[in-house]
Structure 1
Amino acid sequence: MRMYITVILRCLLFAAMALSVYDYVKINQYFELFGRGYIDEFSLYVTTWRGTFLSIVTILLIIFNVIDFIVVKKKKNALLKEYILSEYDVSDERAVEITGKAVRYAFVFIIFYTIVLLASYMFIPNYFLDYPWYPIFTTASIPILGLIIYLITFKYFHAR
């Protein structure tokens, strides 16, 4: 359960950051279009829910990490490694081996996925003006999907 909470909160943090950055990029896009003379005027409605969502997720992640740190510190023979790698028990050799496999699978996925995303930028040369959301959300999807692949492979190998 601890692993699910950690991965979900980290994924939500990346998604919330992407949503918050999107507003900033959208505003800059309108100013750029206005400065180049493509538009004569513009109006914007910026919502606060994206920033609020980012703040809530960040606070939840901090609270979860503080609670986790307190639980680890209460153990007499606790190592710092147990706090940093909160997903599993570091004294369990099988869990350490499974984590190694899951990290390798996630890393290979991230490498190939990043190559595909970088290649996709060639097909959208004017993405800043036409699709400002595309590079933001594709970049945010790299760690999100990497974490999901890590979680799935860890649970798969752990169940075997």
Structure 2
Amino acid sequence: MQISAVRDAIADAARAVTMPDGIPALTCTGYATDAVTVPHFYVGDYTITFDKTFGRGQDEVEFTCAVLVSRADDLSGQKILDGLLSGGGPGSLKAAIEVARGAPGEYALGGLADDLHVTRVQSYRWYEVAGTQYLGAELVVRVIGEGGT
């Protein structure tokens, strides 16, 4: 798998989220940024498990992504974040990202991986980026793909 391309493809998939009326579109990047425009999704750190199948056939990568929202109004920020973290619907990051799995028999992320799955949400808390605090949470995206590239 080409990690940089996969990071960008996950961010592209997240852009399909529909935000509630009056809330700006979700900005998405394949990397952490020090210039956050809320609401913001980014693909952060990752862990790789090599050699899931014999002969460098497949690797498994778990990407820890984050979504940040404004804390100008604590209640409305939490409601926006809750919508983004929901398991389904037009505002669900899980649903938007998993569309990139492709149809049965197709490769995921436009051919960059064999499959992907948003496995969990974690760390719902305050995050600080470049001296500013945001309300946010992490999503873990498991991607499996060719190990030899």
TM-score, reference length from structure 1? 0.27
Whichever structure has more strand as a proportion of its residues is 2
- In terms of fraction of residues, the more helix-rich structure is 1
Larger radius of gyration: 1
Q: Calculate the TM-score normalised by the size of structure 2.
A: 0.29
